[in-house]
Amino acid sequence: MPAPFAYRRLVQFADTDMAGIVHFSVFFRYMEEAEHALRRHIGMSIHDRFDPADDRSRIAFPRVSARCDYHSPARCEDELRIEVTVQKLGKSSVTYGFHIFRDEAELAVGEMTSVCCCFRDGVKPRPTPLPDAVLAGLKQFAA
Amino acid sequence: MPAPFAYRRLVQFADTDMAGIVHFSVFFRYMEEAEHALRRHIGMSIHDRFDPADDRSRIAFPRVSARCDYHSPARCEDELRIEVTVQKLGKSSVTYGFHIFRDEAELAVGEMTSVCCCFRDGVKPRPTPLPDAVLAGLKQFAA
Amino acid sequence: MPAPFAYRRLVQFADTDMAGIVHFSVFFRYMEEAEHALRRHIGMSIHDRFDPADDRSRIAFPRVSARCDYHSPARCEDELRIEVTVQKLGKSSVTYGFHIFRDEAELAVGEMTSVCCCFRDGVKPRPTPLPDAVLAGLKQFAA
Amino acid sequence: MPAPFAYRRLVQFADTDMAGIVHFSVFFRYMEEAEHALRRHIGMSIHDRFDPADDRSRIAFPRVSARCDYHSPARCEDELRIEVTVQKLGKSSVTYGFHIFRDEAELAVGEMTSVCCCFRDGVKPRPTPLPDAVLAGLKQFAA
């Protein structure tokens, strides 16, 4: 089984709330940051065109679902390690799994499903098959 | 069956991302705002003491889990209506269900589970049974 | 002298940080919300076209500067009143002044300057004179 | 003249808004992150006690003022370099200056003033002189 992709993130002061811990909604931003780091790792960019000849076309991955189970709080200045695996690959969709650690303590486990879409100006986004290069890159981290 | 609790929220510019829509993590903040509005409605405050004699003790509800399914995007200046029901009441835990609408369109459906905890300075938070008054208030919105 | 425009805003839990108060950067979001409420009040929308015949042209107001002086902290569930005045109107620019109150206590004073710009797809945004209707609307709140 | 302290930060997707650029309020979070990185660099932590014998006492630096001038927008995946200098040191206060770059382009210039305070449970925070070790550390980056 391949190693998961690992993303490291320091908890910042603005991530916390008056309970003294990271606000639960911020874990979803951490997971997205890790997902985007994985995507850059396999050669993708947020600015990727769908159609190389159309500089305003974009490939994007709107969320279908997101969830997180919280085991233990994260605090300011914690050094987090977010491990990402690809749990499921559909024709157009991808489901990522996330495990968020501080050292050996697993603080949270999450999952997000996105659909690969083509965006063009003035046209309603529509699902489109995952490009072959994306598929090959994601498969490296398939659980 | 009782009516759900309804919370209204205008989408603000800072809630959006470069895809032109509300960032998916912001839906969790909307759900929390709706939950807290429900709690104020039944007489609770974020500042409620656990022990009336100890002005630094608090009742708080750390998250155990949160999830959201996204059906359709929300945009800046949308007037959202977030309906909250109490889906499950445990001894110490409460599970809320959320339906987020713009007019009649259901944009997202979510769920969050929290555990009632007692916070005291210098003491590790521990689960505590839902106070009777809280239980009675929440039952009004039980699905 | 005309009355300022007043915007009311409840402090939400997610606006706070581990110091137990509203994070200083959130005051800038409050000021923007108040500005946008003023703009809706005078008939503007974030979605206003620059050219009525071009449904992808937009009038927008990128920031040139922003500042805030903090006098006293805001806390969760505080009911804030944000008063907005128009301090200065240039040919293309507008400077807003903000006073943030909880009851009679002034918590913060801020200022933001924006430049009216035309956005069209694929064209670098450029400053454009404030439209007459916008100018007339803003003048109602000139300090 | 000493070199400024430099902090590097990748622009994340959630930092952007529907105008396709980093939301202006997020620059204040970037500046705070850079300030805190500088503070860690000189041996400080957000969790520093004011009184070593009191594990709930804290040294903290509430904001007195913050401002930013925006020259050019930042976009998703931009690699920012935030340079911090100490512009002014008072008995209890410190004013930081910030220059935010992408490569050689200066995107924004900011300033923040904070006051060193002692926090103890149940006691109103009060200004306290900057500890000698803090003063010595900050002076390394005095402009």
**Each residue of B60-76: pLDDT tens digit?**
899 999 999 999 999 99
Tell me, what's the pLDDT at B124?
79
Tell me, what's the pLDDT at C53?
84
A109: contact with B, CB 8 A cutoff = no
φ, ψ for residue C3 (rounded to 5)?
-70, 145
| Chain B environment of A22 (Cβ under 8 Å) | none
Tell me, what's the pLDDT at C131?
92
Size of interface B-D (CB pairs under 8 A): 37
The C-alpha atoms of residue D27 and residue B70 are separated, in whole angstroms, by: 29
| Chain D environment of C60 (Cβ under 8 Å) | 19
Residue contact C17–A13, C-beta within 8 A: yes
pLDDT higher than threshold 90 for residue D3: no
Residue contact A24–B66, C-beta within 8 A: yes
**For chain A, what is the HEC assignment?**
CCCCEEEEEECCHHHECCCCCECCCHHHHHHHHHHHHHHHHCCCCCCCCCCCCCCCCEEECCEEEEEEEECCCCCCCCEEEEEEEEEEECCCEEEEEEEEEECCEEEEEEEEEEECEEEECCEEEEECCCCHHHHHHHHCCEC
Residue contact A18–C23, C-beta within 8 A: no
Tell me, what's the pLDDT at C54?
82
Nearest C-alpha in C relative to D27 = C25
B12: contact with D, CB 8 A cutoff = no
pLDDT in tens, D77-103: 999 999 999 999 999 999 999 999 999
Tell me, what's the pLDDT at D1?
66
Closest Cβ opposite residue C24 in set D46, D66, D69 = D66
Contacts of B70 (CB under 8 A, 6+ apart): A62, A63, A64, A65, A66, B24, B27, B107, B108
Angle at A30 between CA A96 and CA A88, to 5 degrees: 0
Would strands C123-127 and D5-10 be described as parallel, antiparallel, or unpaired? unpaired
Residue B122: pLDDT band by 50, 70, 90 thresholds? low
pLDDT in tens, C24-75: 999 999 999 999 999 999 999 988 888 888 877 888 899 999 999 999 999 9
User: Burial, B58: exposed, middle or buried (Cβ in 10 Å; 0-12, 13-18, 19+)?
Assistant: buried
pLDDT higher than threshold 80 for residue B47: yes
Tell me, what's the pLDDT at D119?
82
Nearest to D15 by CA among D77, D102, D97: D77
The C-alpha atoms of residue A46 and residue A60 are separated, in whole angstroms, by: 7
Q: What is the mean pLDDT of residues A97-124?
A: 92
Paired residues of B109 in beta bridges? B69, B99
The DSSP H or E segment spanning C84 is: strand C79-89
User: Burial, D120: exposed, middle or buried (Cβ in 10 Å; 0-12, 13-18, 19+)?
Assistant: middle
Mutate one of D17, D29, D57 to test the B interface: name it (highest B CB count within 10 A): D17
Please report the residues numbered 65 through 84 in chain A whose beta carbons come closer than 8 angstroms to any beta carbon of chain B. 65-70, 73
Average pLDDT taken over every residue of chain A: 94
The pair of three-digit structure tokens given for residue A79, joined into one six-digit string:
């050094």
CA of C21 to nearest chain A CA: how many angstroms apart?
7
Closest Cβ opposite residue D18 in set B20, B55, B121 = B20
User: Burial, A105: exposed, middle or buried (Cβ in 10 Å; 0-12, 13-18, 19+)?
Assistant: exposed
The C-alpha atoms of residue C65 and residue C71 are separated, in whole angstroms, by: 20
pLDDT in tens, A4-21: 999 999 999 999 999 999
| Chain C environment of B45 (Cβ under 8 Å) | 77
Closest Cβ opposite residue C29 in set B14, B32, B33 = B14
The DSSP H or E segment spanning B97 is: strand B93-102
Can you tell me whether residue B127 is helix, strand or coil? strand
Paired residues of B82 in beta bridges? B7, B100
Tell me, what's the pLDDT at C58?
84
Q: Are A2 and A141 in contact (CB under 8 A)?
A: yes
Contacts of D58 (CB under 8 A, 6+ apart): D47, D48, D49, D50, D118, D119, D120
The C-alpha atoms of residue A36 and residue A61 are separated, in whole angstroms, by: 11
Nearest to A109 by CA among A27, A53, A54: A27
The C-alpha atoms of residue C15 and residue C118 are separated, in whole angstroms, by: 32
The DSSP H or E segment spanning B70 is: strand B63-70
Angle at B65 between CA B139 and CA B4, to 5 degrees: 30
Q: What is the mean pLDDT of residues C84-100?
A: 97
* Type of residue found at A59: I
ipTM of the complex: 0.95
pTM summary value:
0.96
Residue contact C77–B33, C-beta within 8 A: no
CA of C68 to nearest chain D CA: how many angstroms apart?
5
Mutate one of C16, C18, C26, C120 to test the A interface: name it (highest A CB count within 10 A): C18
